[in-house]
Amino acid sequence: MSRRSRGNQCSSNGSISEEGTSSSKRGEEKTLSGKCFCGQGVVLLQYGTLTNPGRWFIRCPLWKTMDCKYFVWVDEIDGGWERLARALVRKNQDSSCSNHEVNLTGQRREIEENSVKILLKIGKLQGEIRTIRSWIITIFLSLLICVGLNLLQLINM
């Protein structure tokens, strides 16, 4: 059986949506989740044909490249424009949250990378401090030896 002949389909999130053409029976409940069968966000368009001039519909944004066949007339959706508006707002909020999560993940990764760089610099600086300390101690001990030898020479004279 082809996908077009199945009529209404239940999408992965449980909402019932019209697929294929708009030849479904009036009175059947159609709800809108804001996503098509392949999980993409639906797009809102207006028909410009003689048979349906100015009639609004929603469909999968990938209808040319995917075999999704998601198609619903807005006036056949249970709740109509109000339901569509709520679903699109919810979709935009979900998308916005996803974008913020991606940004936070990117910022977290950047912070971790910077932390590693800082820790490496700290390690390098600690090594340099140890080297400088040993030079200072060496110079101090050399001075003590020189002063001590000079004192011994003065005493022996």
- SS3 labels along 114-127: HHHHHHHHHHHHHH
Task: Give the pLDDT of residue 55.
Answer: 81
- pLDDT average, residue stretch 102-109: 76
Does residue 5 register a pLDDT over 50?
no
Closest Cα to residue 90, out of 20, 15, 19, 26? 15
pTM of full prediction above 0.75: no
* Mean pLDDT in residue range 1-29: 35
Q: What's the longest Cα–Cα distance across the chain?
A: 125
Q: Which residues pair with 56 in a beta bridge?
A: 46
Who wins on pLDDT, 154 or 135?
A: 135
Q: How far is CA 64 from the centre of its chain?
A: 26
Q: Where are the domains of the chain?
A: 4-78
**Counting runs of H as helices and runs of E as strands, what totals does the chain give?**
1, 5
For residue 87, which phi and psi values (nearest 5 degrees)?
-65, -40
Higher pLDDT, 93 or 135: 135
* Residues contacting residue 8 through CB under 8 Å, at least 6 positions apart: 16, 17, 18, 19, 24, 28, 30
How far the first Cα of the chain sits from its last, in Å, is 118
Q: Which residue has the higher pLDDT, 153 or 34?
A: 153
Q: How far is CA 26 from the centre of its chain?
A: 39
Q: What is the pLDDT of residue 95?
A: 63
Residue 26: pLDDT above 50? no
Neighbours of 69 (CB within 10 A): 20
At 61-95, the pLDDT tens digits run 888 887 888 888 877 765 666 666 666 666 666 66
